[in-house]
């Protein structure tokens, strides 16, 4: 029996939230009294496997093959199946990224095993995994108990703290996966990498979001939002109203039909706090609301509020943070 | 599941309502506050309405329309004004006052020429009756139409014309016989088009409400209008105008109902959220009273509006019922919007919230398309028998689903 | 070519906070039910594939008899036909049971080349059902597709997006595709569509017809509950000037150690 965690890599870089899962995996493995195994799949990704050793696994399985260079469901599922067999894994975890959700889903279904997608908490009861899911867009929690020997879960990013990298441990073991490129149905024709200068909303520790309050001058409004975000190393978010009005692209949308986020700090500027938006960011650790209207529902969820015009408050905040964080331009 | 309004609305109506509600929430609501602030008319909204078929909703399919019934016209008006009056006004003038007039009074050839492009939304239509010195007193109008060969030469000025700067087709009323007694018998109706020489238009700014809607004036200097553009017979213009108003007022009444609902919904939301003396203001009795009054107006208004819509579907004359609905609902929408501002307190007085716009928007309809006072007089006149329905040469056709949906 | 679009009827998103754990447990949620917002994109794409490739489309939804509002919405948008799948054993929140029933319905429908669906439902939030459907059918799967570039010679070319960016890929048919919001702009139902949909008699496929009187279950949902209410008392930062307010807020946030 073991706990197996898939460490996702994109272009040779580990996906940060995978470490959160691996860290939690250590805890689960300890309470099961079973080993923790990390799985790295790719081509020429020894560095990722080496990095994984720093987060406490007993073994790191490394499936390396040219056919595995980029994520494709069918060969990656074959690799995960092989790893499950090799590690005799009973608890199989991944971060709930697009690929993590799909991979755990397919392999669980193939094995007729239970799946808890996008879990927000995990624990062990009576030798089995129990997952907590947040459903109805954050309005209902449920414990998921498994009736199957294998228990799969994907874990929502930022559900667990990212562990500090420690002393490397565990051995890297190669995991041969017989992949015949001719048998892989999916062919990748073209790759457009994500803009790496942009911080992803789901991974962000800090998010600065703008809403309909920018309507007076949407371009300037989001420029001010971005400037504050830059100073804080934060991601830029937006309410659906701002996206629908065409102020900013959809990929920035936070909320029920956008992204669900859980940063340490969420700064909502000119966002009234519609139920659908709160569903997407209500779990943030500290929420700051900037709004002209003191009765805006966002203030009921906020820890700190400034009643005022974002066009004045944001530049003042940016300036103040620059000063305090020592980022002030020298004159 | 049976709806409590199941005696009026079928599944089709419910689906229409849902669709228009979503349309208005997505296409109009996000930008309306800024448009209203800037007193800016956004032609993209009318274009979207056209694309969605709203501009031909209750026009038969063979005339380029969508073949829905008159109740659907009411529902569309109601849901549009729930978001903003300016969008409902388009339905009132383009569909109610103009297109339905052509459907009722136009020849087959005129329907092909005017109604088809209007119903498809390719041409935008408006209604030109009011003049600087002739509002409620229609027969005092000074615009003239002088017959010269196969044309009429139109002269005069029309004011408070919704869509004046937007419209392609103008249903214009002018006197072909300025000496007629009584004077209304000298009025005739014409479909004037923007491309005719001598047509100029302009817009007003500084209106109290409906600031996102285009309203203006239309001037006619020796405009040659072909005889085949005369709608109805010479001298039938007044009757035509009144039939058009029966349909325009219906959309105004339905729209006002939407505005009552908008005021009520905003107030219910705010009253539960805003706290004073340690409790949500929803728990204060005098706030409850305002909410109750709005509920009463909404439910009563709904019955009045859709009774008129049902009568239109049946082909029954409905001038009295329609004017009653228009009187009641527009007054009620003004009162409801005023109460909504009151419930919102000082915030209601600021344009951060929608209710001040509701209040400004609500007042116009108490005045236009027949003032409240005129409609009050009408009710009594019908009751006393001073006024009664006389058969018309052309009646608004009853709604017949098969007839409305056949292709040719 | 035939496209099946899987559609779920879900509570109006504005009403989700009112849903109680008891309602979820009993499966009898009292809310305005609408087409799952994510599935609207799938319905739109099915209609567009009809226009582009002459594909016929069928909307399939799992639900009790009479739960046809979402299907009717799809019909009113322009999907060609609809099918309600009434399988009680698939109603207990087990994603694989749901996938089993939907896959059986797709097979029952026959000749389907492409299954489309939204990226997740706003109630179940699993985003796993389509994976299960692909697995049960033994079909290929493409997830989070932002553009269907072409379908030709039994192969679909599509763009899909994930955290690492965007890829253009090819995949042989038959294929299950989950679509992302970027893929299109769903149309509103048309009046003609509304007329057709409101009169449509939607056929119901039963568990008996599909041979699915019982489906083995892999998980149980227990202890359904509302998340603990967040007890925050907002601290309004006052100040003579906006600079003073900014300074006080920065003080507070530095003290919270969230910067």
Query: What number is the average pLDDT over the span B169-194?
Result: 96
The pLDDT > 70 percentage for chain B reads 99
Residue B407 maps to a domain: no
Cβ burial B66-80 (10 Å sphere, 16+ → b, else e): bbbbbbbbbbbbbbb
Please check whether residues B119 and B137 belong to one and the same domain.
no
Taking alpha carbons only, the member of B268, B277, B252 closest to residue B340 is: B268
B244, B380: one domain: yes
Are A315 and C242 contacting, i.e. CB atoms less than 8 angstroms apart? no
Confidence of residue A223 (pLDDT cuts 50, 70, 90): very high
Q: Which residues of A touch B (CB under 8 A)?
A: 212, 215-216, 241, 244-245, 292-293, 295, 297
Does B48 touch chain A if contact means CB atoms closer than 8 Å?
no
Residue B55: CATH number of its domain: 1.10.540.10
Cβ count near A233 (within 10 Å): 12
Q: In 3D, which of B355, B366, B383, B308 has the Cα closest to residue B332? A: B366
A331 — pLDDT class (breaks 50, 70, 90)? very low
Model pLDDT, residue A314? 96
Mean pLDDT computed over every residue of chain B: 95
Strand partners for C255: none
CA angle (B356 as vertex; B351, B357 as ends), nearest 5: 90
pLDDT tens digit sequence for A177-212? 988 899 999 999 999 988 777 788 988 999 999 999
pLDDT of res. A199:
80
Q: Over range C19-47, report the average pLDDT.
A: 93
Residue A2: enclosing H or E segment and its boundaries?
A: strand A2-7
* Domain identity same for B20 and B84: yes
Average pLDDT, chain C: 94
* C55 vs B134, more confident: C55
Cα of B310 to nearest chain A Cα, Å: 37
Query: Contact A264/A273 with Cβ under 8 angstroms?
Result: no
A171-174 and A151-155 beta bridge pairing: unpaired
Spatial CB neighbours of A269, under 8 Å, sequence gap ≥ 6:
A208, A209, A210, A211, A213, A214, A221, A224, A225, A290, A291, A310, A313, A314
Strand bridging mode C56-62 / C2-7: parallel
Tell which residue, B181, B273, B188, has the closest CA to residue B225.
Answer: B188
Torsion of CA B262, B266, B271, B274, to 10 degrees: -170
Q: With contacts defined as CB-CB under 8 Å, which chain A residues touch C157?
A: 189
Domain A206-324: which CATH number of 3.30.420.40, 3.90.228.20, 3.30.1600.10, 3.40.50.1220:
3.40.50.1220
Determine contact: B396 vs chain C, CB below 8 A. Answer: no
Report how far residue A28's alpha carbon sits from residue A3's, in angstroms, rounded to the nearest whole number. Answer: 7
Share of chain A above pLDDT 70, in %: 99
Give me the total of CB pairs closer than 8 Å, taking one residue from chain A and one from chain B: 18
Q: Do B66 and C76 touch (CB under 8 A)?
A: no
Chain A nearest CA to B266, separation (Å): 13
Query: DSSP letters of B112-180?
Result: IIIIHHHHTTSS-EEEE--BTTBSS-GGG---EEEEETTEEEEEEEEEEEETTTT-SEEEEEEES-TT-
Q: What is the pLDDT of residue C41?
A: 97
| Closest by Cβ to A117, choosing from C126, C165, C234 | C126
Query: Out of B148, B369, B402, B403, which one is annotated catalytic?
Result: B369
- Distance between CA atoms of residues B324 and B368, nearest Å: 14
Asked if residue B368 lies in contact with residue B159, where contact means CB atoms within 8 angstroms, the answer is no
Smallest CA–CA distance, residue C118 to chain B, in Å, is 19
Residue A103 has a pLDDT of: 98
* Residue B346 pLDDT grade (very low, low, confident, very high; cuts 50, 70, 90): confident
B218 phi and psi angles, rounded to 5 deg: -130, 125
Q: How many CB atoms lie within 10 A of CB A188?
A: 15
CA distances from B30 to A242, A268, B379 (A): 8, 18, 40
Asked if pLDDT for residue B1 goes beyond 70, the answer is no
Residue A330 has pLDDT above 70, yes or no: no
Residue A244 pLDDT exceeds 90: no
Output the CATH code of domain A2-183.
3.40.50.620
CA-to-CA distance for B175 and B193, rounded, in angstroms?
A: 18
Closest-CA residue of A relative to C222 is A143
Q: Report the C-alpha gap between B171 and B190 in whole angstroms.
A: 6
Q: Are residues B321 and B346 in the same domain?
A: yes
How many CB atoms sit inside 10 A of residue B377's CB?
16
Give pTM, 2 decimals: 0.89
**Does the fold of domain A206-324 match that of domain A2-183?**
yes
Output the pLDDT for position B201. Answer: 97
Q: Is residue B301 part of a domain?
A: yes
User: What was the pLDDT predicted at C22?
Assistant: 94
Contact status of C197 with chain B (Cβ, < 8 Å): yes
Q: Which of A11, A141, A304 sits opposite C237 (nearest CB)?
A: A304
Q: How far apart are CA B89 and CA B297, in angstroms?
A: 21
Q: Are residues B259 and B379 in the same domain?
A: yes
Tell whether the model's pLDDT for residue C231 goes beyond 80.
no
Contacts of C143 (CB under 8 A, 6+ apart): A73, A98, A102, C119, C130, C131, C160, C162, C178
Beta bridge mates, C177: C116, C142
| Partners of residue A245 in chain B, C-beta under 8 Å | 30-31
Answer whether B85's CB lies under 8 Å from B364's CB: yes
Residue A329 has a pLDDT of 54
Which tens digits make up the pLDDT trace of B320-334? 999 999 999 999 999
**Is residue B50 domain-shared with residue B186, that is, in the same domain?**
no
pLDDT for C94: 85
User: What residues are paired with C34 via a beta bridge?
Assistant: C10
Known active-site residue B11: no
Considering chain A, what is the average pLDDT of its residues? 93
> Residue C107: is its pLDDT beyond 60?
yes
Render pLDDT for B32-76 as a digit per residue (tens, 0 to 9). Answer: 998 999 999 999 999 999 999 999 999 999 999 999 999 999 999
Pick the CATH number of C2-210 from 3.90.226.10, 3.30.390.10, 3.40.228.10, 3.40.50.620: 3.40.50.620
Based on the domain organization, do B276 and B187 belong to the same domain?
A: no
If asked whether residues B223 and B130 sit together in one domain, one would say: yes
Q: How far is A203 from chain B (nearest CA, A)?
A: 29
C-alpha A40/C-alpha B202 separation (Å) is: 70
B361's tokens: 């928007």
Residues B274 and B374 in one domain: yes
Distance (Å, whole) CA A292 – CA A283: 23
- Domain containing residue B369: 239-396
The neighbour count for residue C86, using CB atoms within 10 Å, is 21
- The residues facing C148 across adjacent strands are C158
pLDDT at B408: 79
Q: How many CB atoms lie within 10 A of CB B150?
A: 9
C-alpha torsion B326→B327→B328→B330, nearest 10? 70
pLDDT digits (tens, 9 = 90+) for A67-95: 999 999 999 999 999 999 999 999 999 99
What chains are in contact with C, requiring at least 3 Cβ pairs below 8 Å?
A, B
Average pLDDT for C74-86:
97
> Least CB-CB distance to C165: which of A133, A140, A192?
A192
Q: Give me the pLDDT at residue C100, please.
A: 96
| Length of chain B as a residue count | 408
| Residue A53: strand, helix, or coil | helix
Question: Rg (Cα) of chain B, in Å, rounded?
Answer: 21
Residue C5 sits at φ, ψ, to 5 deg, of -115, 125
Distance (Å, rounded) from C-alpha B99 to C-alpha B168? 13
Judgement on whether residues B258 and B388 belong to the same structural domain of the protein: yes
Residue extents of the structural domains in chain A: 2-183, 206-324
List the Cα angle C112/C115/C120 in 5-degree steps: 160
The reply to whether residue B30 touches residue A212, judged by beta carbons under 8 angstroms, is: yes
Overall domain count for chain B: 3
Mean pLDDT of B9-31: 94
- Using an 8 Å Cβ cutoff, are C108 and C86 in contact? no
B87 and B164 in a single domain? The answer is no
CB atoms within 10 A of CB C228: 7
* pLDDT reading at B135 higher than 90: no
Final residue in a domain of this structure, among B123, B141, B159? B123
Angle of the B319-348 helix axis to the B237-273 helix axis, nearest 10: 30
Looking at residues A231-258, what average pLDDT do you find? 91
- Same domain for B247 and B169: no
Q: Is B402 helix (H, G, I), strand (E, B) or coil?
A: helix
């Amino acid at each position: 029996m073991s706990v197996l965690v898939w460490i996702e890599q994109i272009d040779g870089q580990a996906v940060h939230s995978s470490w959160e899962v691996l860290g939690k995996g250590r805890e689960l493995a300890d309470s099961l009294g079973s080993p923790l195994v990390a799985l790295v799949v790719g081509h020429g990704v020894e560095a990722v496997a080496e990095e994984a050793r720093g987060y406490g696994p007993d073994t790191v399985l490394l499936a390396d093959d040219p056919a595995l260079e980029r994520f494709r469901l069918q060969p990656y599922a074959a690799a995960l199946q092989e790893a499950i067999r090799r590690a005799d894994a009973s608890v199989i975890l991944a971060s709930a990224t697009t690929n993590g959700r799909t991979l755990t889903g397919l392999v669980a279904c193939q094995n007729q095993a239970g799946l808890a997608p996008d879990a927000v908490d995990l624990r062990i009861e009576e030798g089995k995994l129990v997952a907590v899911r947040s459903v109805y867009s954050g309005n209902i929690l449920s414990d998921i108990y498994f009736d199957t020997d294998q228990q799969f879960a994907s874990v929502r990013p930022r559900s667990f703290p990212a562990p500090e990298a420690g002393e490397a441990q565990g051995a890297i073991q190669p995991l041969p996966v017989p992949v015949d490129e001719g048998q892989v149905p999916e062919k990748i024709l073209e790759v457009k990498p994500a803009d790496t200068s942009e911080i992803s909303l789901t991974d962000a520790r800090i998010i600065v979001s703008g809403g309909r309050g920018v309507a007076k001058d949407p371009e300037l409004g989001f420029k001010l939002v971005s400037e504050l975000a830059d100073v804080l190393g934060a991601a830029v978010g937006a309410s659906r109203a701002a996206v629908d009005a065409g102020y900013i692209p959809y990929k920035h949308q936070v909320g029920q039909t956008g992204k669900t986020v859980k940063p340490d700090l969420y700064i909502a500027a000119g966002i009234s706090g519609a139920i659908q938006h709160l569903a997407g960011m209500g779990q943030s650790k500290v929420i700051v609301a900037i709004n002209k209207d003191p009765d805006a529902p966002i203030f009921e969820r906020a820890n700190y509020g400034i009643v005022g015009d974002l066009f004045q408050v944001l530049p003042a905040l940016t300036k103040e943070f620059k000063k305090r964080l020592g980022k002030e331009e020298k004159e | 599941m049976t709806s409590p309004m199941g005696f009026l609305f079928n599944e089709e109506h419910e689906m229409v309502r849902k669709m228009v509600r979503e349309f208005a929430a997505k296409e109009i609501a996000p930008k309306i506050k800024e448009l209203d602030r800037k007193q800016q008319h956004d032609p993209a909204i009318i274009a979207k309405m056209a694309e969605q078929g709203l501009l031909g909703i209750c026009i038969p399919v063979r005339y380029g329309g969508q073949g829905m019934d008159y109740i659907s016209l009411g529902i569309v008006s109601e849901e549009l004004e729930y978001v903003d009056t300016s969008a409902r006004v388009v339905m009132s003038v383009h569909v109610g006052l103009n297109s339905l007039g052509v459907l009722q009074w136009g020849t087959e050839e005129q329907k092909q020429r005017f109604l088809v492009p209007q119903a498809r939304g390719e041409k935008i239509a408006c209604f030109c009756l009011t003049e600087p010195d002739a509002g409620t007193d229609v027969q005092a109008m000074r615009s003239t139409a002088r017959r010269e060969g196969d044309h009429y030469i139109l002269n005069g000025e029309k004011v408070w014309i919704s869509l004046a700067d937007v419209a392609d087709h103008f249903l214009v009323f002018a006197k072909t016989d300025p000496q007629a007694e009584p004077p209304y018998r000298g009025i005739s109706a014409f479909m004037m088009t923007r491309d005719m020489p001598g047509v100029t238009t302009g817009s007003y700014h500084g209106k109290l409400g409906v600031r996102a809607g285009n309203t203006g004036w239309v001037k006619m200097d020796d405009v040659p209008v072909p005889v085949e553009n005369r709608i109805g017979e010479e001298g039938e213009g007044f009757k035509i105008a009144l039939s058009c108003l029966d349909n325009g007022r219906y959309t105004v009444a339905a729209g006002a109902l939407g505005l009552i609902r908008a005021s009520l919904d905003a107030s219910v939301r705010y009253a539960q959220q805003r706290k004073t003396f340690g409790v949500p203001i929803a728990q204060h009795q005098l706030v409850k009273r305002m909410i109750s009054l709005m509920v009463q107006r909404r439910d009563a208004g709904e019955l009045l509006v859709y009774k008129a819509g049902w009568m239109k579907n049946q082909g029954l004359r409905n001038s009295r019922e329609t004017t009653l609905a228009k009187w009641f609902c527009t007054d009620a929408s003004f009162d409801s919007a005023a109460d909504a501002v009151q419930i919102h307190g000082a915030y209601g007085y600021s344009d951060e919230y929608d209710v001040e716009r509701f209040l400004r928007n609500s007042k116009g309809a108490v005045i236009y398309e027949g003032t409240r006072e005129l409609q009050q007089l009408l009710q009594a006149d019908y009751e006393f028998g001073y006024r009664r329905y006389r058969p018309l040469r052309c009646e608004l056709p009853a709604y017949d689903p098969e007839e409305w949906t056949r292709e040719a | 070519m035939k496209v099946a679009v899987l559609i779920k009827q879900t509570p109006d998103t504005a009403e989700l906070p009112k849903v109680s754990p008891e309602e979820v447990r009993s499966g009898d949620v009292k809310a305005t039910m609408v087409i799952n917002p994510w599935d609207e994109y799938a319905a739109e794409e099915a209609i567009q594939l009809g226009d582009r490739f002459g594909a016929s489309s069928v909307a399939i939804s799992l639900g009790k008899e009479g739960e046809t509002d979402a299907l009717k919405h799809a019909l009113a948008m322009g999907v060609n036909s609809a099918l309600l799948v009434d399988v009680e054993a698939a109603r207990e929140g087990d994603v694989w049971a749901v996938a089993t029933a939907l896959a059986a319905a797709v097979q029952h429908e026959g000749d389907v080349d492409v299954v489309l669906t939204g990226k997740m439902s706003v109630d179940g939030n699993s985003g796993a059902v389509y994976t299960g459907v692909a697995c049960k059918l033994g079909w290929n799967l493409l997830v989070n597709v932002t553009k269907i570039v072409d379908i030709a010679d039994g192969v679909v070319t599509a763009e899909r997006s994930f955290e690492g960016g965007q890829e253009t890929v090819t995949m042989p048919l038959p294929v299950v595709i989950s679509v992302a919001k970027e893929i299109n702009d769903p149309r509103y139902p048309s009046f003609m569509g509304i007329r057709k949909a409101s009169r449509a008699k939607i056929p119901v496929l039963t568990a008996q017809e599909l041979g699915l009187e019982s489906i083995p279950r892999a998980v149980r949902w227990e202890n359904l509950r509302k998340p603990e209410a967040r007890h925050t008392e907002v601290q309004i930062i006052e100040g003579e000037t906006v600079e003073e307010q900014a300074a006080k807020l920065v003080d507070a946030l530095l003290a919270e150690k969230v910067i």
